[in-house]
Each structure stands twice: as C-alpha cells, then as structure tokens.
Chains A and B, each alone.
Chain A
Amino acid sequence: MRAPTALRFTVVGAVALAIALMPFVLSDYNRSQGARVAVFFIAILGLNIVTGYTGQISIGHGAFMALGGYTTAILTHSHGWSTLPTLPVAAAVGFGAGIVVGLPALRFHGVYLALTTFAVALAVPQLATNYSHFTGGVEGLPLPSHTGIWLYGLGWSVAAVMFVLSWLLLRGRTGRAFRAVRDSEVAAASSGVSLAVHKTLAFGVSAAIAAVAGSVYVLVNAFVNPDIFGLTLSLYILIGAVVGGLGSLWGVLVGACFVQLLPIGISNSHTVSAQSVPVIFGAMVILVMALLPRGAAEALFWATELPKRIRRVHSSSTPQRLEAQ
C-alpha cells in the first residue's frame, strides 16, 4: 500500500492546508462541527492503531474517550485547572487504562476480545453515573465554553500532533512489530517480537489517543455526562475506522467525515424527517461496506495506483493481480 513518497507528502500537505484554511470560510456553528470531525479523527486514529495495525478488535473506545473526557472535566471544573494541561493528563490516564484492558486481552482472541471491549464500553458510563460525587452523575458537569474557532484550532492541532506521532510510531520498529503481530502471531513470536509487550503497548497507545479525543469531545460540548459516551459512540468510532480503512492512516479523515458529517448533512438538507435519518445512515453504511469493504483507503490506493497500472498494463502483457493488503 505504498504510493510514492512525494505524492503522499503532497497530498497530506494539501489536505492539511485545506483544513487550516477552512475555518475562514465557515460560520461559527460549522467551525464547531469541524471540531467534532477532529474528535472522531483522533478517536479513529487511536482505534486504528490497536485494531488496524495490531489486529486486536476493540469495540469499546468510547470508554477510553470517557476516561479522558471526565479527566479533563473534573480537573477543570472541580480543581480549577486550565484546559490545555489536562490533555496530557487525560492521555496518561488513557494509557494506563489501555494497559489494564490490554493485559487480560492477551488471553482472549477475536470475538471474545471484541465482546470484552464491548462490555467495558457499556460499563464505564454506569460507573460514571454511580460515582456521581466526582463525576456529577447524570446531571453532569459544565465546562468553560469556547468559540468555534478556538475549538476548531484545538481539535485540529491535537489531531495533527496525534497523526504525526502515530505516523512516526508506526513507521518505526514498533509499528513493524505491531503489523507482525497482526499478520501472524506465531511468526512474530518466533522472530523475537514479544507478543505481550506489543499487544499491551498497542492498547495503551490507542487508549491514550482516544482519551485525548474524549477531552476535546467534552470541550466541544462544554458539558460532560455519562449519556454522551453511550454505546453509539463506540460503534460510530468503529464504523468510521472501517469505512476509512483499517491499517491505513489515509482513510481516517474520510471515516471521521462519514460518521460525523453524513448524519448531520442528511438532517440539515431537510429533505427527510428527523426520524428517517437513522434509516438513511444505516443504509449508507451497508452500501459502503458492499462497495468498499476495505474502506476508503482501498479506494484511495486504487486512485493512486491507477496511473501506474495503466502504464504497466500497456507495457506488459501479463496482467498484474493486486493483493489487497
């Protein structure tokens, strides 16, 4: 899945520039929407590391977002912290939680792991409701409000930082180890890659990133309560990751736009009733999975490969069969 380096950097640069310039043509409301896309971008990035690159299915990333979100909320609301310093703390809390989840996950495989993370995703909001003394319970905690442009800037700066850090991590030895674990645990282990260390590390890093997404999420809403971290959130992150394309950083933006902007777009177009929105969104998810089961990254790959394939087909008589990953 490697398009030429120059092309990749140009594309990234162009997209980054577009994202940076967008707020100037957007209304304040749309800037907040843009910040919400950033939240999903970061969360999907995190999920991709543990599921796309290390092959461990997690349906529970909403739980890690909740941990990060509540960390930020409690620190700013009850302890008077200012906003930005809470983000690294949230990341640390997330990392710790990720390790804690990752350890028993060593025992489980495939569907059992998926369902365990599913259980965690459901349990965390219940815990938040229970310990209402700290968390404000169902009535939640308010957070300081910010303008749309501030939120957009924060969201996308954090997203950019997370993206670069992830890219650096994944292209290095650790990233190769992750991919080795995903592709064949036995081969990886026999090549000296410690399964326990890397699987847990993947969870830790992934959860840390998701926790930071959670912090931005509660800032965008200027409010936190258990209901905002429901099962829907975890499912949407997963949908975004798969629609974007697992095992690739390029589709993450597409995935984030898909789950955040598409439902809003359908309801804002006022062509259908509010109650029809889930039906249309569900249909679109099915459609995308039918047409692009491996996600947008696959399409992007085809798009970048196409010029080369045309040249190759013309120059050789043997048809090349493309291995999808």
Chain B
Amino acid sequence: MRMRATAAIVPLLLAGCGVFLLVGSLESALFAQLTVSGLANGGIYASLAVALVLIYRATQVINFAQGALATFATYVAWQFIAWNMTYWLAFSLTLGCAFVGGIVVERVAIRPAGRRGSVLSIVIASIGVLILVEGSIPLIWGTDVRFFPSAFPARTIHVGGVAFQLQDLGTIGVSIAAVVLLWILFRFTKLGLAMRAAAFRPEAARLVGVRVGWMLSIGWGLASALGAVAGMMAAPSPSVLLQPSMMDGILIYAFAAAVLGGLESPAGAVVGGLAIGALLNLLGSYVGWVTPQLLLPAAFLLMLTVLLVKPSGLFGRTSVRRV
C-alpha cells in the first residue's frame, strides 16, 4: 500500500506544478511570458539532458564531454552548411559523423581506461576528452562567434499577449521525439534489450551472446548523435550562438535536469529540464532575494531537495543494493 502511495506522489506533484503554471499564466501575461521563455530555455537543457541520460543508461558513466562533443558536432554542421549543403543534408550528415565520432571516442579514449581501471578512471578519461575536444574547436574554426541557422522558421506566434518562438516549440518537440524514440528502442527492439543487458549485467549478457563492447560503443555513438541534435537546436538561440564555449552553461543545467529527473529516465530528463527552465525564470522574477547569482545555487538546492526525498530522482527507480 505504501509503495502505491509514494509512486503516486511524483505524478501528483508534476500535475500540481502544471496547474500552477497554467493558472498563473491565465492570471498574468507577465507570468505567462516568463513561463514560456523559461520553458524555451528548458527545452535546450532537456535536449542535452536526454543525451546524458542515454549515455548513463547504456554505459553507467557520467559523460563530462557530452557538451563539448555536441559543440564540435554543431561546428561540423556549420562547416557543411558553409560548403553550400542544404540544412537537412548537413543535419543528417552531422548525425552520422557524430555517431561515428562517439564510437571512436569510446574505443580510443574510454575503453582503455575502463579495461583495468575504476569508474573514476573512465570519468577522468571523459574529462580528458572534454578538454581535448573543446580545445580543438578554436584551432580549427577560430574563436569568432557565429550564427547557426535553425531547423524551424524564425517566426513568432502571439497568443493572448504572450509570444511563442516557433524555434523554441520545435526544440521542445524534438526533445520529446527523442524520448519517444529512445523508449521504442529500449522497450521494443532487440538492440535496446541488448544495450540494457550490457549495461546492467555485462557478464551475464556476454554469456547469452551479447557483444558488450559493441553495445557500449553504440551507446556512445547514439548519445553523441543526440548531443549533436541538442547542439543544433541550441545554437540558433540568441542566448547561445555558435561559439566554442556555447554548451558550458547548458551542460550544468542539463546535468541538474538529468539528476532531477532520474539518471536513467529520458522522460525525467525532459521534465527536469523544462521544470528547471521555468523555475529559474519565475524565481528570478518573483522571489526578491534570489539575485541573478543565486539562481544557479537555487536550481541546485531544488535538485538536492528532491534527491533527499527521492534519492534516485523524480522518475528513477531506487535500486536494491546487492550484498
């Protein structure tokens, strides 16, 4: 009976938040606009957070390099466009390159560290990748800030005094689509099952013929491709733009979103990202003592509070620790 009750809390809480946002938006155009802008930011956090969750689910590793890899991929896309490819051709090619790139990174940098090392050796290797990849971008493309076109038309829709950017709606849509695709992958495909097995019980998976090494590589490849999508969704935004450090700020909130939602739950990552985006805007506007500098600590305080109550995040499952 108790299990049932606690399982109901999270959906109730989220429903409550949704109602709160809706009512507030109907009451005040300012509240509505703040919420909409906040959700737009949240969409960007969510898209990167989904990539983080995928990597964690597939390999049990926190990938510090996720942001840098996403940035690199976006630069590659920019290069393709600069070579006069159409946007969608560049987009698809970039996804392919990112997929391959992720596999290469896993094989060259991560696998050797994992072979005889601990989890931390892998984390350090991923930090090495972060430093290397982020450092290589200015060497190839310089330090100028550039414009990156959006997949969606640059149109603003006005509804009742609130402005919606088609681009932002598109980003949120893409994140949700990614979650759905991942759900289908893990739930209904053999590949997804093999990947879950490889992450959860590598030894047992090997015994039934799963090629664990390849599953890890594919996990990195897919996450890298998702990160590329996140980068290409984020870069057109005027608060991001195409520059070497573009993902730095986003990565932080993406981690918070992923943890908040539960590191193994893509849906949680999206909910977490949107929640953080909206919350930051509302906190900054309505709670007087939250100065701009206190926003980041406030976001983390929220994350921490949720974790204290639910240590594996909103949608995470508490795992039974084996003795």
* B100-135 interface bits toward A, Cβ cutoff 8 Å, 1 = contact, 0 = none: 000000001100111111111111110111111111
Q: Which residues of B contact A112 (CB under 8 A)?
A: 259, 263, 307, 311-312
A293 contacts B by Cβ under 8 Å: yes
Using a Cβ–Cβ cut-off of 8 Å, how many residues does chain B contribute to the interface with A?
50
Using a Cβ–Cβ cut-off of 8 Å, how many residues does chain A contribute to the interface with B?
46
A290→B125 contact, CB < 8 A: yes
A207 contacts B by Cβ under 8 Å: no
A108→B311 contact, CB < 8 A: yes
A289→B291 contact, CB < 8 A: no
* B148-184 interface bits toward A, Cβ cutoff 8 Å, 1 = contact, 0 = none: 0000000000000000000000000000000000000
B128→A115 contact, CB < 8 A: no
Q: Which residues of A contact B255 (CB under 8 A)?
A: 115, 118
What's the nearest-Cβ distance from chain A to residue B306, in Å?
Answer: 11
B116→A278 contact, CB < 8 A: no
- Which of A129, A239, A294 lies in contact with B116, CB distance below 8 A? A294
A281 contacts B by Cβ under 8 Å: yes
A127→B293 contact, CB < 8 A: yes
Q: Which residues of A contact B116 (CB under 8 A)?
A: 293-294, 324
A188 contacts B by Cβ under 8 Å: no
A107→B296 contact, CB < 8 A: no
A235 contacts B by Cβ under 8 Å: yes
What's the nearest-Cβ distance from chain B to residue A129, in Å?
Answer: 5
Known: A278-B135, A289-B112. A242 touches B128 (CB 8 A): no
Q: Which residues of B contact A281 (CB under 8 A)?
A: 131-132, 135
- In chain A, residues 158-178, which have Cβ atoms closer than 8 Å to a Cβ of chain B? none
* B127-147 interface bits toward A, Cβ cutoff 8 Å, 1 = contact, 0 = none: 111111111101100000000
B45 contacts A by Cβ under 8 Å: no
* A103-137 interface bits toward B, Cβ cutoff 8 Å, 1 = contact, 0 = none: 01001111110111011101100110110000000
B109→A57 contact, CB < 8 A: no
Smallest CB-CB separation from B56: which chain A residue?
A: A111
Q: Which residues of B contact A268 (CB under 8 A)?
A: none
A107→B311 contact, CB < 8 A: yes
CA distance A123 to B297 in the complex (A): 5
Known: A107-B308, A279-B135, A286-B109. A129 touches B125 (CB 8 A): no
- Which of B117, B119, B135, B300 lies in contact with A123, CB distance below 8 A? B300
A286→B118 contact, CB < 8 A: no
Which A residues lie at the B interface, using CB under 8 A?
Answer: 51, 57, 104, 107-112, 114-116, 118-120, 122-123, 126-127, 129-130, 186, 235, 238-239, 242-243, 246, 273, 275-279, 281-286, 289-291, 293-294, 324
Shortest 7 CB-CB contacts between residues of A and residues of B: A293-B117, A282-B132, A278-B135, A285-B128, A282-B131, A290-B112, A130-B293
Can you identify 12 A-B contacts, CB atoms within 8 angstroms?
A104-B308, A107-B308, A110-B119, A116-B307, A122-B296, A239-B128, A246-B118, A281-B132, A283-B128, A285-B125, A286-B108, A290-B113
